[in-house]
Amino acid sequence: MSELAERIKACAEGDRAALRAIMDTEGSRLLGIAIRMLRRRDLAEDAVQECFVSLWRKAHQFDANRGAARGWLTTILRNQCLTMLRKESWEIAEDAETLERRQDEDIVMDAYGRLDANSDLRRCLDRLEPPKRIAILQAYVLGYTHGEISGRLQAPLGSVKAWVRRGLIALRECLS
């Protein structure tokens, strides 16, 4: 049985010194793997820490007959990194999408707010239902396609097309 396997077995029995020894001998190697996987040192350090927490909690599950101790430990780290990558990509995508949506709303509402309250265009836009008004403003202020508006408003494409078409007809009638 390898020295690492013996230390993992000692961790299963509650030996904190064994865990510390594993951290000292394997920590830098695991950190290098995590940095290569995550490409961010802060996340890599978190992954390694979680790896050691998992090692402490699951040391009793290690079986030297089923595989090498180093492989078992590396697998724990790999799984932790993959979990973090999945979570991080979701968070980044969600945050970027939310930020972009807010910026779009700000630009549209700013353009709408700059219209003179007594102007014919403002008066006619005010008469439109909010979805029609927002769809038209996103199309003509931001230059979005119907598909982009559909995605940003999370509305069916057919509805967005109808809102824009009906909204433009209503604006033409109002302005003439």
Residue-wise pLDDT for 126-139, tens only, equals: 899 988 888 898 88
Question: 3-89 with 97-175: one CATH topology?
Answer: no
CATH architecture of 97-175: Orthogonal Bundle (1.10)
Does the predicted TM-score (pTM) go above 0.85? Answer: no
Query: 46: buried, middle or exposed (CB in 10 Å: 19+, 13-18, 0-12)?
Result: middle
Give mean pLDDT, residues 30-38: 89
Q: Is 92's pLDDT higher than 90?
A: no
Closest CA relative to residue 48, chosen from 36, 59, 60: 36
To the nearest whole percent, how much of the chain has pLDDT over 90?
A: 45
| 7-11, 81-85, 97-101, 171-175: the lowest-pLDDT one | 97-101
Q: Is 99's pLDDT higher than 80?
A: no
Average pLDDT, the chain: 86
Give mean pLDDT, residues 79-99: 68
92/24: higher pLDDT? 24
The span from the first CA to the last CA of the chain, in angstroms, equals 89
Q: Is 146's pLDDT higher than 80?
A: yes
pLDDT computed for residue 16 by the predictor: 94
pLDDT computed for residue 41 by the predictor: 85
pLDDT computed for residue 108 by the predictor: 78
| 28-37, 54-63, 69-78, 140-149: the lowest-pLDDT one | 140-149
CATH of 3-89, one of 1.10.540.10, 1.10.1740.10, 3.30.540.10, 3.40.640.10: 1.10.1740.10
Residues 4, 51: contact at Cβ < 8 Å?
Answer: no
Taking the domains of the chain in order of start, what are their residue ranges?
3-89, 97-175
CA distances from residue 53 to 10, 72, 74, 116 in whole angstroms, order as listed: 15, 14, 13, 62
Q: Is 28's pLDDT higher than 60?
A: yes
Give mean pLDDT, residues 43-65: 92
